[in-house]
Structure 1
Amino acid sequence: MTATARTFIDIHVLQTVPPSCINRDDTGSPKTATFGGVTRARVSSQAWKKATRDEFKRHLDDSEIGERTVRVVERIAQQIRALDESIDEAQATETATEVLKATGINVKIEKKKATEGQEASETRHTGYLIFLSRAQINSLAELGLGAIQGEKINKAEAKRAFNDSNSIAVALFGRMIADAPDLNVDASCQVSHAISVHAAASEFDYFTAVDDNAPEDIAGAGMIGTVEFVSSTLYRYATIDAERLVENLGSKEAAIRAVEAFVRGFLVSMPTGKQNTFANRTRPGVVLVEVREDQPVNLAAAFENPVRADGGALPLAAGRLVNHALHEDREFDTAPVRSAILVADPAAKEQVTPILERAQESTLNELVSMTAETLRERLKGE
């Protein structure tokens, strides 16, 4: 591996989702996008990144998981009191505020006057969500504890505590802080908005609910309403810049562990919108993972001409995906370093045959292992 070589991990997913509303807009409608001249179902990148971060809890230690919150003062104060139970809440909150301000981040204080039956209250929060690792929260709390014990809060130390020991989520998805740009973290992972490979139109479910305790002489429903939903086969894509991930985490082994968690989490997660209404959780039908050194390559153009199918759209989409991947690399004189493909939909087996010359057919565990092994080999050469 040369000094200028890069390593990108591209993840391409085809996934069929039954009637659902996993990501809705401000009117309650499933999100959409126009692509190739037709309306597609869409799931925002933020929705799937949140679902992936939630999945991390099953695969990573608590110390490696980040928190995204405006209640940073509250979290630092809680940790100060965890370090020393003799410190009261008010002192911990005031000290946490001063520690956070030392990093350059503004803290907003909102006070509510006492009303009948409710005491006066005060909340302290940042003006936007901030990504922090639990290790960073603990480091800031230790500075706060030192301040309570008479030490001066050093701004450089506060910034260092805020920047060191990034969580895997922060290292992957980045952090932007308008008040203090020097605390920003450039994301090493990009996630596209998932779009349906075909034209998709929303439908409405008109529902009624019966009041179990209604008098016998009342025949009407206790409640009526509508809920909007859509069915789709989605193309999902994400890419990771391995070198930037190492830089953000400060460790090659931590980066490899992060990639393993992300690949697994991205594939098996799903946003939770309206899941109790639709029980729509599915798993991908086809997954193509490619380790590249030229550039990340989104293959959405394979579906600019929408898939039209009398039966299942996923097998046709699988053929489009692999043929487009092969054609692009042939025309641009490029090739992935290594590829693996998971085919869970039996109807798609024949469609993916052309790419099996370069992509190893794998189970989920084998696909994750291939990615980790390839990354370990390439990082070793740096």
Structure 2
Amino acid sequence: MSRTILDIHVLQTIPPSNVNRDDTGSPKTAIYGGVRRARVSSQAWKRATRKVFADLLDRRDLGVRTKRVVELLSERIVERAPELSDRAVELATAVLTAAGFKLKKRKGAEYDETEFLVFLGNHQLDGLAQLAIEAAAEDKPQVDKKAAKARVDQDHSIEVALFGRMVADVQDLNVEAAAQVAHAISVHAVDNEYDYFTAVDDHKEGDETEDAGAAMIGTVEFNSATYYRYANVDVDRLFGTLGDPEATRRAAEAFVRAFVTSMPTGKQTTFANRTLPDAVLVLARETQPISLVGAYEEAIGAREEGGRVGGAIRRLAEHAAELHASYDQQPLQAWAVVPGSRADLLAELATPVTLGDLVKGVGELVARRLEPVGQGV
């Protein structure tokens, strides 16, 4: 049976920065091809992508990831039934417990919290709030466990469908992610550097009797790199979770745009490192997702033909063409966004478009591929 897979490949140069730190404050790195590369974790870029959704999608289609779900649900109950404000916490606790969530009292916290982060869609929170209000007819609320679990396991948000949900306490509420995001790595070797900085006490500086030395000194570690970023979306799995072709289309369009334009926010104020990609390649497949990271197993050197960015785009095109020919993996459709004269480097592999046209093309392809499903065929 054919599938619909979206492969998103991005080449992006980021100037001196520290967008994703390890436990020591250093920019994350990884060894690939025998040399050290700059790295940005998939978790960092997934969160950055998810934050962009607020600008692209209706809030009702989104969700909230929190441990403070009792507080959140209590607020929903009060919004719908202000007369239950005195019982909102009790009702929220009863509904969440019936759904299988284990709640714990945290020291100094006003509300019980779940032991792990819980990812719930706004439609699901509304459903749980309604169930709590219905249970308020009893002096001691009795909530049907099957009904409570059903409210958590239906009307999934687009974020939950894309990124998945793991509920350690209630594994039958887990949702398998439709999107996979790789750790971004530099296409070349990197060496981290250090910025030595000082901070001057403005008031002390104006006192002639004081020394003019710095009030604080420190260092910030950073690097700069051209990254290869990769993600894929299993459109069929996305549709299986959302159950609606139009919602699936919106989700696919939003993911592509958000992944391409997002940026993790680590140390942004210090480095002002916000950039847009040097090249974007999106391939629609019907077999399996395929990363093109192998193009950079041999790190790009200083004398690469076309420079670092031009060489990276050229390698991407050559590696993709070789894989397609060798493994009979010709894509269903291919789009490329490459500013300026470098667009020619991907012209034989994909149709040159703007980002807006790319997103529109992805949406049209998803709708076309899901059309028989929507008609019940």
So what's the TM-score if we normalise by structure 2? 0.94
Is structure 2 residue 283 aligned with structure 1 residue 293?
no
- Asked if 1 retains the 8 angstrom alpha-carbon contact of 2:285 and 2:333, the reply is yes
- Structure 1: unaligned runs, 5 residues or longer: 113-120
Aligned pair partner of 1:284 in 264, 273, 277: 277
* 1:3-42 alignment runs, 5 A limit: 4-42=1-39
Structure 2 match to 1:222:
215
Is structure 2 residue 313 aligned with structure 1 residue 318?
yes
Using the alignment, how far apart are the partners of 2:85 and 2:318 within structure 1? 64
Aligned pair partner of 1:175 in 141, 165, 171: 165
After superposition, the C-alpha distances for 1:269-314 in whole angstroms (9 at most, x for unaligned) are 1000000000000000100000000110001111010011248411
* 1:221-260 alignment runs, 5 A limit: 221-260=214-253
Is structure 2 residue 350 aligned with structure 1 residue 359?
yes
How far residue 231 of structure 1 moved from its aligned partner, in angstroms, is: 0.1
Using the alignment, how far apart are the partners of 2:36 and 2:266 within structure 1? 21
How far residue 111 of structure 1 moved from its aligned partner, in angstroms, is: 4.1
Is structure 2 residue 121 aligned with structure 1 residue 129?
no
SS of residue in 1 equivalent to 2:115: coil
Aligned residues between the structures:
366
So what's the TM-score if we normalise by structure 1? 0.93
**Amino acid paired to 2:342:** A
How far residue 209 of structure 1 moved from its aligned partner, in angstroms, is: 1.2
Is structure 2 residue 328 aligned with structure 1 residue 333?
yes
* 1:42-191 alignment runs, 5 A limit: 42-89=39-86, 91-112=87-108, 122-150=110-138, 152-191=142-181
Using the alignment, how far apart are the partners of 2:85 and 2:56 within structure 1? 35
How far residue 145 of structure 1 moved from its aligned partner, in angstroms, is: 1.1
Identity %: 50
After superposition, the C-alpha distances for 1:252-280 in whole angstroms (9 at most, x for unaligned) are 11000001111111111100000000000
After superposition, the C-alpha distances for 1:126-169 in whole angstroms (9 at most, x for unaligned) are 11111111111111111111111226311111011101111100
SS of residue in 2 equivalent to 1:122: coil
- Structure 2: unaligned runs, 5 residues or longer: none
- Asked if 2 retains the 8 angstrom alpha-carbon contact of 1:174 and 1:188, the reply is yes
How far residue 343 of structure 1 moved from its aligned partner, in angstroms, is: 0.3
Using the alignment, how far apart are the partners of 1:62 and 1:153 within structure 2? 28
**Amino acid paired to 1:57:** A
**Amino acid paired to 1:40:** R
> What's the C-alpha RMSD, in Å, of the aligned pairs?
1.3
Moved more, 129-138 or 12-21: 129-138
Using the alignment, how far apart are the partners of 2:310 and 2:302 within structure 1? 10
- Asked if 2 retains the 8 angstrom alpha-carbon contact of 1:338 and 1:358, the reply is no
**Amino acid paired to 1:132:** L
Structure 1 match to 2:363:
372
Structure 1 match to 2:342:
348
